[in-house]
Amino acid sequence: MHMLNLQILQDIKRRFAEITERMAQPEVATDARQMAELGREHAELREVVKSIKRYERMLQEMDDLREMVRTDDDDDLVEMAQAELEELQEQLPQVEERLRKQLIPKDPEDAKNAIVEIRAGTGGDEAALFAGDLYRMYERFVERQGWRIEIMEHSSGSQGGFKEMIFSVEGKGAYGTLKYENGVHRVQRVPETESSGRIHTSAATVAVLPEAEEVDVEVHANDLKVDVYRSSGPGGQSVNTTDSAVRITHMPTGLVVTCQDEKSQHKNKDKAMRVLRSRLYEMKLEEHRAERDEARRSAVGTGDRSAKIRTYNFPQDRVTDHRLEGDDKNHPLRSVIDGDLDDIIEALRTAENAERLANLESS
């Protein structure tokens, strides 16, 4: 009995053939949205199908060698066939394991750029300071990846940090990496604003959205209410003589996005539309995910923004990720705050992939 479910392999090959056929249809080829969606899935499955065909050829070759060993009268040929069969049997587990990893269902959004929204939660001024720490942590992490950050909108705290910080991250697989940061981040420390030395607990929320392209979600101009006004506060001093700030309201959903970071009204509107489009896309994705798989609400990789995912304990110099277990759970605080998130994210990705593979094989 083979480790891999051969029916799953056939289903994947069949799906790849269906997508290839659909992309060749004239009515699909002229539809940018359909071609973008099908193209992503086609590119993902192409390499998997190549590996499946190699694996099937290997199994067929092993069957042929077994038949030769069983029926051939030439002792020399039988000996050669047996040796080759044993070599292939030794290679088989490694080949199957590589293919198993390729079969793990991928989120088609993982390759996209990301929109990250950090908001100060409970804790007043200390929460805003912590939100600022989180932004700098992500800034350093993004720099290590060789990606690029662009601030979309921000609101500073009265004692420093941020009440809100929205930024985009441009880089291959940015969303697929940063999506594990979705949730409530909690900090335990003596705040700079605390004179008595008592440890306080504060929190900030992080939301990570896949940045939507225009083909991903359709936004009708008639559904938008666009207001312009004068910028104010930090960053607005040099531009508050003109109506450069933009507020966009999406009437059907009630979503409101503002942007005043740029001196140009046009640039502010463009940034606000990018955020709005990504929020609408995330709403659309959440609807599909809820319909498709309720198991998405499980502990690892859910993106549940109401869940406390991580605690930054300064007195104990420790970061605890509450979605992980064992040695993966705790990490040195100073290196994490300095942007070293690789070990945490890799552990979360490994746990999520194991769950996805288990769900695939049990379905």
Residue 94 lies in a domain: yes
Whether residue 36 is found in the same domain as residue 119: no
| Nearest Cα residue to 224 out of 255, 268, 196 | 255
Whether residue 200 is found in the same domain as residue 347: yes
Could you say which of 273, 290, 307 is where a domain stops? Answer: 290
| Nearest Cα residue to 246 out of 232, 225, 229, 264 | 229
| pLDDT above 70 (res 295) | no
Pairing of strands 245-250, 224-229: antiparallel
Pairing of strands 308-313, 183-189: parallel
d(CA 13, CA 139): 41
| Nearest Cα residue to 187 out of 202, 167, 205 | 202
- Please compute the mean of the pLDDT values over residues 7-16 and round it to a whole number: 90
Burial of 188 (C-beta count, 10 Å sphere; 0-12/13-18/19+) = middle
Residue 108 lies in a domain: no
- Please compute the mean of the pLDDT values over residues 285-300 and round it to a whole number: 54
What is the pLDDT, as a whole number, of residue 8? 84
| pLDDT above 90 (res 213) | no
Whether residue 211 is found in the same domain as residue 305: yes
Whether residue 267 is found in the same domain as residue 336: no
User: What CATH number is given to the structural domain containing 355?
Assistant: 3.30.70.1660
- Please compute the mean of the pLDDT values over residues 339-353 and round it to a whole number: 93
| Domain enclosing residue 271, as ranges | 221-290
d(CA 363, CA 344): 29
Residue 1 lies in a domain: no
Whether residue 228 is found in the same domain as residue 303: no
- Please compute the mean of the pLDDT values over residues 332-358 and round it to a whole number: 91
DSSP 160: B
Whether residue 67 is found in the same domain as residue 138: no
Number of domains in the chain: 3
For 62-82, the pLDDT digits (tens) are 999 999 999 988 889 999 999
Whether residue 282 is found in the same domain as residue 320: no
What is the pLDDT, as a whole number, of residue 317? 95
CA dist 164 → 132, 157, 167, 337 (Å): 9, 8, 10, 19
Global pTM reads 0.71
Residue 109 lies in a domain: no
Could you say which of 48, 78, 103 is where a domain stops? Answer: 103
User: What CATH number is given to the structural domain containing 20?
Assistant: 1.20.58
| pLDDT above 80 (res 304) | no
Structure-model confidence comparison of residues 178 and 236, the more confident one: 178
Residue 323 lies in a domain: yes
Enclosing H/E stretch for 169: strand 162-170
What is the pLDDT, as a whole number, of residue 3? 63
Whether residue 195 is found in the same domain as residue 303: yes
Whether residue 197 is found in the same domain as residue 344: yes
Question: Read out DSSP for 297-327?
Answer: GSSSS---TTSEEEEEETTTTEEEETT--GG
- Please compute the mean of the pLDDT values over residues 242-246 and round it to a whole number: 83
